[in-house]
Amino acid sequence: MHPVKLISKAIEGHPERPVLPCDPVHGVCSVTGEETTCVPRRLLLSKDFTNGDVLAAPESSLVSTSAYYALKFKWERMGSWFCDGNTFDRLTRQDVRAKVFAPEMPDMWAAYATTSYKKHGSLNTKTNTSASRVWLFEMRIVDLTDMERVSEWWGKLNGALRSGIGRSVLESMVCPPFLIKKIGIDAWMDFEAWAKPKHMSSLYSFLCYLLPSQEELKNEARAKY
């Protein structure tokens, strides 16, 4: 099932669900490729739309009513979300982290994590079963299905953050001399050897995004006393 269908189903009865702009007709949806009830594509995707590569039937001049409902629903493009066809949940960074490390997942779901709040995540993300864990982070697909690897990388990055290596350094892998002196040359070289082959990957970038903020770390420290 395409993510737009999950979202359309989940927002039935939602007070902010869009209203169809005209009576639907039968045709082929350019987004999903299915024959179903549709409205003119021009009423959803403008002439400036340049991501034809993500459309299942780009030659069609129609979009399904499901695609219209989902892509016109403002929260689909205004932040991070998780949808299983029953509920559409808007997510904070902490919520995304909790979903990523949840022990069990629904039978079918799709998810998008973003800091830009400008893109249609449902056009680019994947629909998962309970056995798969694929997210869209910004416009990069992140496969977290191998949770043993995810947990290993998370442990390394979380440990590095708590040792004093800030998020920006973890992301860029450029460590200023004063910080190397502070944490120790051996500690930095050990981490660098582990991280260098990984830091350009979508999984590494996504896990860096999920790391606790400085405020969260301060709250943790306060809770210990």
Residue 119 has pLDDT above 90, yes or no: no
Within the chain, what is the greatest distance between any pair of CA atoms?
68
Q: What mean pLDDT, rounded, does the chain reach?
A: 95
What is the pTM for the complete model shown?
A: 0.92
Above pLDDT 90, what percent of the chain? 89
- pLDDT tens figures, 19-40: 999 999 999 999 999 999 999 9
- Strands 134-137 vs 108-113: parallel, antiparallel or unpaired: parallel
| The predicted structure's pLDDT at residue 225 | 67
Please state, in angstroms and rounded to a whole number, the distance separating the CA atoms of residues 85 and 6: 4
Residue 69 has pLDDT above 80, yes or no: yes
In terms of Cα–Cα distance, which of 31, 36, 85 is closest to 58? 31
From residue 161, alpha-carbon distances to 99, 147, 167 in Å are 21, 20, 7
- pLDDT tens figures, 35-45: 999 999 999 99
Above pLDDT 70, what percent of the chain? 100
